[in-house]
Amino acid sequence: MATVYLARDLKHDRLVALKVLRPELAAALGPERFLREIRLAARLQHPHLLSVHDSGEAAGQLWFTMPYIEGESLRDRLKRDQQLPVEDALRIARGAAEALDCAHRHGVIHRDVKPENILLSDGHPLLADFGIARALRGDEQLTNTGMAVGTPAYMSPEQASGQRALDARTDVYALGCVLYEMLTGHPPFLGTTPQEVLARHTLDPVPPLRASRPDLPAALERAVFKALAKAPADRFATAGAFSEALTAAPPGPAAPLSRWWTRRPALYAAGAVAILALGYVLFSHRRFTGGVNPSGGPARSIAVLPFVNLSPDRNDEYFSDGMSEELITALHAVAGLRVAARTSAFAFRDKNVNASQIGRELNVGTLLEGTVRRAGSRVRVSAQLINAADGYQLWAEEYERDIKDVFAVQDDISRAIVQALQVTLAGAANVPLVRRSTASPEAHDLYLKGRYFFGQRSEPGLLRKSAEYFEQAVRTDSLYASAYSGLSDAYSVLSIWGYEAPREGFARAKAAAQRALLLDSTLAEAHTSLGIISLYYDWNWPAAEQALTRAIALDPQYAPAHLFQAWYFLITGRADVAIREMQHARELDPLSLIINTRVASVFYYAHRYDEAIAQLRKTLELDGTNALAQAELARAYLQAKRCDEAIAATRFIPPSLPNPEGAARGYAYALCGHRAEALSALGDLKKQAQRGYVIPAKVALMYAALGDKDSTFAWLERGYAGRDAFMTFLKVEPLYDTVREDPRFAGLVKRVGLEP
């Protein structure tokens, strides 16, 4: 609308903001009309109102001056903080309402109340630019300039429909929108085009504030809803009445939400057409700046943060987590969009970290966050897309559906994100991004529970619970490929970690993976599942390579496929390639504890111990209690001949750690000359073996450290007979160096298939 300069008023020796209208606007308005309206605004005086100092015309240019205020605009504050404390939001809204009430009593309607026009000087709100929108209103000549009267996100329904006879209640509506944004972090109605935003103001119900902030007092929500009533007659009659209602609604505890869903009112086609037509007229010459800079790099990258469970049942977190995971999978399918892995994105759950820090740590330009609320057969999902650089909202939407339509909701969200990020979809525009993996809501719910407990796999009970839910899912829907893949992974991990005997556990895992691929050969997770089994149970290296390569081709951003492909390269003697592939997995999932630990593991197996130690120290900065990282650190210290540090690291390893790393305390004592302590640890391990399955390699490594070759090979033979997954590391495990020259070792390596 204008170019704004910081200038000095020479007559009064003061700094002012000098606004010079664009030439095409000045020509359309004419000086007489413009100066008449500005003079009317200049007579307004109020503590919360930024009045006009002076105005004039020079060489065809129209200008006016306003006081120069040191501070920031409300928009700047919202960019920084998103949601404001309730006390701050109420103070700012009350001040703006009082300024509007003063103006309205003098016959002046603002018509463009928005965060950019509310200035904050030491927190004191000042409403600016009175009279400008009034001067611009309703002139047909202005449509040729590409300017619109008002801002779509804050325009009342009557203003959006082009009514010329507006009154004070249109400003009340706009201020209600501003207050809504201060409380929730986004205006009440958003869309991917200005036309869509205008239509929503007229047709859509106001989304409840307490869906985003359950702690808000009910009286405050009622006041905002009244200000945002569709019909002017249903709003506060004056801005002063709005201010009084806000004064009567101080911050306090929220009452419980009642029945939370409301059905959308019927859509009136004629009204929608009128709104869209108006939008076209007003905005056809303007560029809508609601998207992200499309210039590659971080702008085309996203992290889907764990959606917050707002359901009455706190145990429904599995459902909100599942929604986030499935959106990650869907967005992986979009060419040109880089998506942070689930583990890294979920690392920020319940942490007070701002958007810019998350963006830096995950190397993404945008964040998707949201809430999920279930009640009976209904589900409401609120989602918003955030610019990680400044925390400013780019897009937001709310969806309410029957639970059976959850895939449609996910597809709607995915497509809105793609459009907001200006990423071109490959293939037909009507092809769903989210695969409808099952027609059964019950099976899908069970699958989400399985994924939830699989993600919490810190103990065997959670893994078994995960497998149970996957079993129930495939019994409910025998054609559910993703559930079969999840079942395969659960049994594979149970077998690798030693919670199940490999022959039984891997047999179940293999049957499930094959069934998944039979049902859906395009599922990257299922190919990864089969690759894991080929690698650790079948010892079929070509089949493992084929399956993992296919998984990566189907989903290049699926970090587990890169993780296990790195293990494949290591096991088959290509350590340098394994290191590169594991580092690539970390790039995809930078905050994953397991991947960061396994980057160090491949350094360890490649005899690059100092690099392994440095990496493990970084990993332990993420979680100093991680037992697997401590065990790997002890092993690396041992090989670096740093016994004291190795033994110190083993003190953090629980005896129950199932992997061979769980024997680190025993072989650290043995290699560092503490034989009695080593034998004691070995005795404890053999007692465990009498009670149930123990990974044979775990015992063999302790005997190797003690120099007992016969016992070492006896346990390795047990590992070979039982298809112990850790037999695949025979060639690369440094702890076997004490028996490597024994002829029995070469024969065993050959039988495992690690020699040509």
Domain ranges of the chain: 2-67, 72-256+267-283, 297-420, 658-756
CATH class as words, domain 2-67: alpha beta
Handedness of CA 661, 665, 667, 671 (dihedral sign): positive
Average pLDDT over residues 647-659: 80
Listed range (32-41, 638-647, 746-755) with the worst mean pLDDT:
32-41
In 707-742, which residue ranges form alpha helices assigned H by DSSP?
Answer: 709-721
pLDDT tens, position by position, 181-198:
999 888 998 776 777 788
655 DSSP 8-state letter: T
The contacts of residue 563 (CB under 8 Å, 6+ apart) are 582, 585, 594, 595, 598
Residue 696 has pLDDT above 90, yes or no: yes
Give yes or no for a contact between 239 and 304, defined as CB atoms under 8 angstroms apart: no
Average pLDDT over residues 39-64: 80
The per-residue pLDDT for 416 is: 66
Residue 204 has pLDDT above 70, yes or no: yes
Confidence band (pLDDT; 50, 70, 90) for 677?
very high
Give yes or no for a contact between 366 and 421, defined as CB atoms under 8 angstroms apart: yes
Average pLDDT over residues 353-365: 87
Listed range (139-148, 210-219, 394-403, 551-560) with the worst mean pLDDT:
139-148
Residue 678: enclosing H or E segment and its boundaries? helix 675-691
The per-residue pLDDT for 639 is: 94
Reduce the DSSP state of residue 384 to 3 states and report it: strand
Topology (CATH) of 72-256+267-283: Transferase(Phosphotransferase); domain 1 (1.10.510)
Give yes or no for a contact between 75 and 115, defined as CB atoms under 8 angstroms apart: yes
Q: Has this prediction a pTM greater than 0.75?
A: no
**Mean model confidence pLDDT for the chain:** 81
C-alpha span between 513 and 533 (Å, rounded): 9
Residue 1 has pLDDT above 70, yes or no: yes
- End-to-end Cα distance, the chain: 76
Confidence band (pLDDT; 50, 70, 90) for 165?
confident
pLDDT tens, position by position, 82-114:
889 999 999 999 999 999 998 888 888 888 899
The per-residue pLDDT for 419 is: 64
Is 112 designated active site? yes
Average pLDDT over residues 448-459: 76
Q: Annotate 82-129 with three-state secondary structure.
A: CCCCHHHHHHHHHHHHHHHHHHHHCCCCCCCCCHHHEEEECCEEEECC
Confidence band (pLDDT; 50, 70, 90) for 410?
low
For residue 20, list its beta bridge partners.
3, 63
Residue 428 has pLDDT above 50, yes or no: no
Specify the higher pLDDT residue, 465 or 430.
465
Reduce the DSSP state of residue 385 to 3 states and report it: strand
Average pLDDT over residues 560-568: 95
The per-residue pLDDT for 290 is: 37
Residue 698 has pLDDT above 60, yes or no: yes
Q: Which of 112, 171, 412, 477 is catalytic?
A: 112
Specify the higher pLDDT residue, 573 or 296.
573
In DSSP notation, 403-468 reads GGGHHHHHHHHHHHHHHHTTPPPSS-TTS-SS----S-HHHHHHHHHHHHHHHT-SSHHHHHHHHH
Confidence band (pLDDT; 50, 70, 90) for 162?
confident
C-alpha span between 136 and 145 (Å, rounded): 11
Residue 558 has pLDDT above 70, yes or no: yes
C-alpha span between 705 and 739 (Å, rounded): 9
Residue 238 has pLDDT above 90, yes or no: yes
The per-residue pLDDT for 34 is: 73
C-alpha span between 234 and 527 (Å, rounded): 59
Return the percentage of the chain with pLDDT > 70, whole number.
83
Confidence band (pLDDT; 50, 70, 90) for 278?
very low
Average pLDDT over residues 266-294: 35
Return the percentage of the chain with pLDDT > 90, whole number.
36
Topology (CATH) of 297-420: Rossmann fold (3.40.50)
Give yes or no for a contact between 369 and 384, defined as CB atoms under 8 angstroms apart: yes
Average pLDDT over residues 463-486: 91
C-alpha span between 128 and 96 (Å, rounded): 10
The contacts of residue 144 (CB under 8 Å, 6+ apart) are 24, 28
